[in-house]
Structure 1
Amino acid sequence: MENIEKLILSLDEKIKKASTRSLDISFNELLDMYKDDELNITPDYQRLFRWNQGTQSRFIESLLLEMPIPPIYVVEDENRKYQLIDGLQRFSSYLHLRGELDAGYLDPAIKKGDFLELQDCDIVEDLNGLTFNELPTSLKIILKRSYIRVEVVKKESDKKFRYYMFKRLNTGGEALTQQEVRNCTIRMLNPDFIDFIGKMNKKDDYQKCISNISEKQLLSGFGQELVLRFFSLKNYRDNFKHDVADFLTEYMEKVSDPDTKDFSFDYKKEEEAFNKTFCILNKSLGDKSFGRYGKSSIGSNFSVYHFEAICTGLQRIIDRINLDDDKHIKTIRKKLKKIKSDKKFIDVTTGGGKNSRGLLDKRIEIVAKGVSEIQL
């Protein structure tokens, strides 16, 4: 009985931290709010727009047919402006219809002034081939006056409540990578760490070292995830169990949450460690820093297991390495090549199922022990 009462009290306490309300707003009003900067979409979130033209067109067809559509979710900021946290695909489709979508990252790119040409409408096929300006006035009015339920998380709501709501809303529906979700959701707590990760991701030495990851991985935020792996394994490895995604998210939450106690992140010191690590690797192995060893040489490929092991293992001697000493760089190059060709290292970095704590520690220790033998 006592446990039940504690549970109810705990839930009541959380509910007190949530302040929400529901509004019915027309798409035309939403468009006006967007153009007046009263409804915002963060760049990280906007990049998650994935619907093709056929899917966008069928959504517009649904509005014309007055079909029920799911609500969208927004959070209210201190200035009472709204930030979209769920409903990106639907709202962006309407923006595209009206020529207001700016999505230069897409292939093909969409820019303001480009109007959606309806296609693949399968209920009213006569819509296909038309743009908004070519629709009869009556249909334009239907679209402008189409209402959608808007669930507002008010500014009085607790930041953590906003964060977890955004996180849960955006882990279903569209197939997003974990890092894409992190890039958007963590801003609900604090933007500093995710901005720092973005800054590190642009460093030249780092980019050259990871240049063999695929274009698809780049677009889905894998470069940023690798930066997060670097700091997570460097500073938080003792807390890793098995699930890498949960481990990375947990570390990011720890660093970003202003209420986290007994946990600090020295941005200046960590940036120096990151810069030095990838300067060493770029000078010694360049784009083959994380390549697997082939029959007689290192391949031009990318292994995340090599990334984890080499970046983390190298920290053991990072302070002893002189970036301006060519002998140091040559010695590091020779040692890393030897480690990559070692059968024990190959065994713990090849094939699937290598995410266990034991194997992670083993491959990191092989590198750490190997580089520790170097006489600098």
Structure 2
Amino acid sequence: MGLQEELEQKRKEIRTDSYSMSVGELISLYENEEIEIHPQFQRFFRWSATQKTRLIESLLIGLPIPQIFVSQRDNGIWDVVDGLQRLSTIYEFVGILRDEMGRRKPPFVLEQGETLPSLKGKKWDSSDDPENSLTQVERLLIKRSKLEMAILIQGSDPSAKYELFQRLNTGGSIATDQEIRNCLLIMADPDLYENLKAWSDDQNFKECISLSDKAQSEQYDLELILRFLVFRNMEIRDLQQIPYPDISDYLTYAIRAEAIKNKINYQQEKEAFETTFSLLADSLGDRSFRKYSHAKEKFTGGFLVSAFEAIALGIGYNYQQLQTQPINLEETVKALWQNPGFTDSLGGSTKGSISTRKRVQTILPLGRELFES
């Protein structure tokens, strides 16, 4: 298929509309539950009080606000694809923003503005503090402000909103690729996301990966769970045909496709996950994914993703056999670090660099074979 054909096909898959809406109309949509801003996203977006104040100040003095992108569901409800912080800030200032449990959050109190210093301490409308509340005129200025809305309308390719979200937010206020994936999961299948969050609290898993505080704060534990979920049962022929040189890019594609197509057998994957990390915790604990030095006869260093790919996914693939025909996991893991197929796949200063795709394509089959009982 040539470029022109690709363009024509893609443009048929995406149908859009756009128009202006007042802030007052957007407030009404939220109060009537006709727009979904995904309160779980608030874990990943990091607007400061200064940024929030700047937005309200811009509305008051009439500065233009960047366009909001939404996707229209079959039932007409809008999902916010880009603009969550802008809308959340407005709803929080007005005092109607709800958290993940459906509870109203305390209204946001403004800081000193750059152009309007007297904004400091101002509230939307407080009967307990009328002196620091905006006047009716000031509130109407905000409610009558217009925001440009871009709508992916019904009939568009279902994957379009995920692609749009990823493109608009990569490199923005979200810090990591995994937080992008988390948001995609929340949009596509919030129940699956919550289930995976529950997996991350598994004590055996937490003990085995023993991540740094920084890695934990960047949701790296969820990335490891996604690696387990995506690669554990992948056919070798499919593994060898991965088109992305960077496995991080493939993870984003794969989990998005899984969520959309609803292919995941959650109960089976949960059983494999819990069994894998129970076996590892009993045998190795926090040494599970560290390098083993045969010269020093001990495990050294910190967590290594290459070890996770070989060991966790190898055990996960064979978990049913290992329950009935156990092997000495510690000795098997030590043997892994003498296996040239594994050590050569890690690259290094003397071996040259190796793509993450090539590493996974080499390590996964090796791990499956190594942990056969």
TM-score range, shorter chain: 0.7 to 0.9
Alpha-carbon separation, structure 1, partners of 2:3 and 2:360: 38
Match of 2:288 in 1: 289
Alpha-carbon separation, structure 2, partners of 1:290 and 1:54: 42
Helix, strand or coil at the partner of 2:74 = coil
Greater mean alpha carbon deviation, residues 237-246 or residues 92-101 = 237-246
Match of 1:335 in 2: 332
Pair 1:237–1:43, CA change in 2 (3 A): farther
Instruction: Give 1:250's match in structure 2, choosing from 241, 249, 253.
Output: 253
Pair 1:366–1:118, CA change in 2 (3 A): same
Contact persistence 2:246–2:357 (CA under 8 A): no
Pair 1:100–1:350, CA change in 2 (3 A): farther
Helix, strand or coil at the partner of 1:322 = helix
Contact persistence 1:160–1:189 (CA under 8 A): no
Helix, strand or coil at the partner of 1:132 = coil
Pair 1:135–1:269, CA change in 2 (3 A): closer
Q: Shift of the alpha carbon at 1:296?
A: 5.8
Alpha-carbon separation, structure 1, partners of 2:38 and 2:348: 38
Instruction: Give 2:9's match in structure 1, choosing from 1, 13, 18.
Output: 13
Q: Shift of the alpha carbon at 1:53?
A: 0.5
Contact persistence 1:190–1:258 (CA under 8 A): no
Equivalences for residues 1-376 of structure 1 within 5 A = 7-102=3-98, 112-133=104-125, 134-137=132-135, 138-185=137-184, 197-198=196-197, 200-210=199-209, 212-234=210-232, 235=234, 236-240=238-242, 242-258=245-261, 266-293=265-292, 297-298=298-299, 301-314=302-315, 318-322=319-323, 328=326, 331-337=328-334, 339=336, 355-360=355-360, 371=371
Alpha-carbon separation, structure 2, partners of 1:343 and 1:258: 38
Q: Shift of the alpha carbon at 1:191?
A: 6.3
Helix, strand or coil at the partner of 1:159 = coil
Q: Shift of the alpha carbon at 1:86?
A: 0.5
Alpha-carbon separation, structure 1, partners of 2:139 and 2:8: 46
Q: Shift of the alpha carbon at 1:68?
A: 0.9
Alpha-carbon separation, structure 1, partners of 2:297 and 2:182: 40
Pair 1:156–1:197, CA change in 2 (3 A): same
Contact persistence 2:240–2:361 (CA under 8 A): no
Q: Which amino acid aligns with 2:8?
A: D
Helix, strand or coil at the partner of 1:298 = strand
Helix, strand or coil at the partner of 1:24 = strand
Pair 1:132–1:299, CA change in 2 (3 A): farther
Pair 1:334–1:55, CA change in 2 (3 A): same
Greater mean alpha carbon deviation, residues 300-309 or residues 23-32 = 300-309
Alpha-carbon separation, structure 1, partners of 2:117 and 2:270: 56
Contact persistence 1:27–1:143 (CA under 8 A): yes
Contact persistence 1:354–1:360 (CA under 8 A): no
Q: Which amino acid aligns with 2:92?
A: H
- Deviation string for 1:267-291 (max 9, x for gaps)? 5544433332222112212233223
Cα RMSD of the aligned pairs, angstroms, is 3.6
Q: Shift of the alpha carbon at 1:354?
A: 5.6
Helix, strand or coil at the partner of 2:323 = coil
Greater mean alpha carbon deviation, residues 278-287 or residues 55-64 = 278-287
Q: Which amino acid aligns with 2:241?
A: N
Which runs of 5 or more residues in structure 1 are unaligned?
A: 106-110
Alpha-carbon separation, structure 2, partners of 1:288 and 1:300: 9
Q: Which amino acid aligns with 1:231?
A: L
Helix, strand or coil at the partner of 2:88 = helix
Contact persistence 2:14–2:152 (CA under 8 A): yes
- Equivalent residue pairs, number: 355
Q: Which amino acid aligns with 1:239?
A: Q
- Deviation string for 1:204-257 (max 9, x for gaps)? 4323323x2234433433222111212333315323563121221233244345
Pair 1:49–1:349, CA change in 2 (3 A): same
Which runs of 5 or more residues in structure 2 are unaligned?
A: 126-131
Q: Shift of the alpha carbon at 1:338?
A: 5.5
Q: Which amino acid aligns with 1:27?
A: V
Greater mean alpha carbon deviation, residues 93-102 or residues 233-242 = 233-242
Greater mean alpha carbon deviation, residues 246-255 or residues 332-341 = 332-341
Contact persistence 1:306–1:349 (CA under 8 A): no
- Deviation string for 1:110-163 (max 9, x for gaps)? x73422222252222121232223244122221222211111111222212333
Pair 1:9–1:359, CA change in 2 (3 A): closer
Pair 1:285–1:140, CA change in 2 (3 A): same
Alpha-carbon separation, structure 1, partners of 2:205 and 2:105: 37
Q: Which amino acid aligns with 2:31?
A: K
Alpha-carbon separation, structure 2, partners of 1:49 and 1:175: 6
Contact persistence 2:54–2:113 (CA under 8 A): yes
Pair 1:208–1:350, CA change in 2 (3 A): farther
Alpha-carbon separation, structure 2, partners of 1:364 and 1:14: 35
